[in-house]
């Protein structure tokens, strides 16, 4: 069986067939009217029963009754195409306008198809199964049909309750189709139309749900078809789900503590910028509409406030705060003279912010601490002659993770040759090397704590320019190292 893969395409206009029965809740609006009508057969002008009536844009799907009548109440005001379909008849559409608190009445006439293949029928071999909950955002649709050869298919996919047209996948030449880019924790309805010559038949309307966004997972980026996409994987790498499917690189992602939104870096507007999207991948909005940069660095450094009310990010000598809706941009703190801010991270309680600053000397990097409001900037750690990178605060607020390149290599591109993960005791200032067991010629970077503070997730890669990192985990003392995800970037272990 041949599978076809695609990304979701939303066709804003279609002349085909919206096919869902009235089992789905219709979309209500305070500004609404009523659509009423009847459907007749052209040959004898008698009423036709069980004619599917739908609208574009979508409102509700109903069927005509025993006298050919239908009604859709609570339909939003505006312009629609009303579409009537049934196997054995040619589909027809009528343009209407729905007015507030009024009933729009129409009459539609259908003619029989030139040919009708009564032997063409669907068989019960549908995937997903009825009301199945599928894991992940990539779903295989499969069906069976008997009675003819040379059949093509259209797949109609609705998001349950959404005020939008269906997703339509046309001219499918096999009985299986792979769709990605769905949403977590969402109900869907789907139907197949089989075409053979001038005849067409409709499968039953099927329903399925996607699972909730996974818990206690590692969010990371890795390449898929040469584009960086976001994935979530459990700490044992037993489950794996792709959550973005765009055409532009997406990486450097962090979920807020409330598990309602994901911030990420992307090139979707050409220049690399910071974005936010809902947990289901919808409602994407751009946060940074100006160039964000600093000495020897291309990655945007940012962190969520623990209460989710804002995001902080660094650019040159400014530490900014911005609300998730893009409002409230303000400078929270200024870097020491002749230095730029780089990595930034909140303490889990929101009382402190930790930052790495660097000067025009690529090895001149220091870790500073400040209050959660940006006041009282003070030096916490420095080790002249060594490049520092990455920051994370332990759940118990006592320690910081960071990487330090022990090679002392000077690189304006940010390349490191022997980066180790260190844990810094915030009170004493003592730093312990956790990368004693690291393979020679590799870098340990992007380290962060697990939600319970009992493990560390990080990346390890060869120190060559073309190396691809792997996401790894280890104990707090650096033992029991294990790489679990090949080709993974910027991991975040979330609850």
What pLDDT sits at residue 400? Answer: 98
Q: Please tell me whether residues 146 and 284 are part of one structural domain.
A: no
Q: Cα dist. 91→66, 79, 96 in Å?
A: 19, 19, 16
3-state helix, strand, coil in the chain (%, to 5): 0, 50, 50
Computed over every residue of the chain, the mean pLDDT equals 88
Is 0.75 surpassed by the pTM of this model?
no
pLDDT tier for residue 27 given thresholds of 50, 70 and 90: very low
Instruction: Assess whether 121 and 260 both reside in one domain.
Output: no
User: What are the pLDDT digits (tens) for 197-235?
Assistant: 777 788 877 889 998 888 768 999 999 889 999 999 888
Q: Are residues 294 and 430 in the same domain?
A: yes
| pLDDT tens column, 74-87 | 998 998 889 888 87
The number of distinct structural domains making up the chain is 2
Tell me the CATH number at 454: 2.120.10.30
Omega of the bond leading into 298 within 30 degrees of 0 (cis): no
- The verdict on 174 and 233 lying in the same domain is no
Shared-domain flag, residues 13 and 134? yes
Q: Are residues 269 and 137 in the same domain?
A: no
Specify whether 475 is located in the same domain as 369: yes
Instruction: Say yes or no: 196 and 225 in one domain.
Output: no
> Per-residue pLDDT tens for 257-312?
999 999 999 998 888 899 999 987 788 999 998 889 888 877 899 999 999 999 99
The alpha carbon of 53 is separated from its chain's Cα centroid by a whole number of angstroms, namely 33
Give the CA distances from residue 184 to residues 208, 213, 240, 332, 398, in Å, rounded to whole numbers and listed in that order: 12, 6, 14, 35, 35
Structure tokens given for 241:
């789900």
Do both 9 and 100 map to the same domain? yes
Q: Domain range for residue 179?
A: 1-211
Query: What does R_g of the chain's alpha carbons equal in angstroms?
Result: 29
Between CA 469 and CA 234 the distance in angstroms is 18
Q: Supply the pLDDT for residue 164.
A: 63
Structure confidence at residue 48 as a pLDDT band (50, 70, 90): very high
pLDDT over threshold 70, residue 2: no
Domain identity same for 224 and 184:
no
Look at residue 227 in the predicted model and tell me its pLDDT: 93
Do 384 and 412 lie in a common domain?
yes
């Amino acid at each position: 069986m041949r599978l076809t893969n695609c990304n979701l395409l939303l066709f804003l206009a279609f002349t085909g067939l919206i096919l869902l029965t009235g089992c789905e809740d219709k979309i209500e609006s305070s500004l609404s009217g009523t659509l009423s009508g009847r459907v007749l057969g052209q040959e004898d002008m008698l009423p036709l029963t069980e004619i599917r009536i739908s609208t574009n844009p979508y409102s509700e799907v109903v069927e005509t009754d025993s006298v050919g009548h239908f009604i859709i109440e609570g339909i939003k005001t505006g312009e629609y195409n009303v579409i009537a379909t049934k196997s054995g008849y040619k589909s027809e559409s009528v343009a209407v306008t729905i007015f507030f608190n009024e009933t729009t009445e129409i009459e539609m006439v259908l003619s029989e198809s030139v040919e009708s293949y009564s032997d063409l029928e669907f068989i019960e071999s549908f995937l997903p199964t009825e009301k199945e909950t599928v894991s992940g955002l990539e779903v295989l649709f499969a069906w069976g049909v008997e009675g003819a050869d040379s059949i093509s298919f259209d797949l109609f996919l609705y998001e349950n309750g959404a005020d939008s047209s269906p997703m339509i996948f046309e001219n499918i030449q096999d009985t299986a189709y792979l769709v990605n880019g769905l949403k977590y924790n969402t109900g869907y309805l789907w139907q197949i139309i089989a075409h053979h010559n001038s005849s067409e038949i409709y499968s039953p309307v099927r329903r399925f749900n996607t699972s909730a966004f996974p818990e206690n997972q590692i969010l990371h980026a890795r390449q898929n078809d040469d584009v960086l996409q976001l994935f979530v994987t459990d700490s044992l790498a037993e489950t794996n789900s792709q959550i973005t499917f765009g055409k532009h690189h997406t990486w450097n992602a962090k979920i807020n503590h409330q598990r309602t939104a994901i911030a990420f870096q992307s090139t979707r507007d050409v220049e690399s910028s910071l974005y936010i999207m809902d947990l289901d991948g919808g409602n994407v909005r751009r946060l940074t509409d100006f160039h964000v940069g600093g000495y020897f660095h291309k990655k945007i450094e940012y962190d969520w406030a623990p209460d989710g009310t804002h995001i902080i990010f660094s650019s040159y000598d400014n530490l900014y705060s911005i609300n998730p809706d893009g409002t409230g941009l303000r400078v929270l703190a200024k870097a020491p003279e002749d230095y730029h801010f780089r990595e930034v991270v909140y303490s889990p309680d929101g009382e402190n912010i930790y930052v790495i600053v660097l000067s025009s000397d690529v090895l001149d990097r220091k870790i500073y601490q400040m209050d959660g409001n940006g006041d009282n900037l003070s030096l916490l750690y420095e080790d002249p002659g060594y490049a520092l990178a990455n920051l994370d605060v332990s759940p118990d607020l006592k320690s910081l993770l960071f990487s330090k390149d022990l090679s002392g290599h000077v690189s304006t591109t940010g390349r490191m040759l022997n980066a180790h993960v260190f844990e810094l005791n915030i009170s004493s200032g003592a730093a312990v090397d956790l990368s004693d067991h690291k393979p020679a010629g590799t870098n340990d970077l992007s380290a962060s704590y697990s939600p319970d503070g009992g493990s560390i997730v990080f990346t390890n890669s060869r120190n060559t320019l073309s190396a691809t990192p792997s996401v790894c985990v280890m104990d707090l003392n650096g033992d029991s190292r294990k790489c679990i995800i090949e080709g993974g970037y910027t991991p975040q272990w979330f609850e």
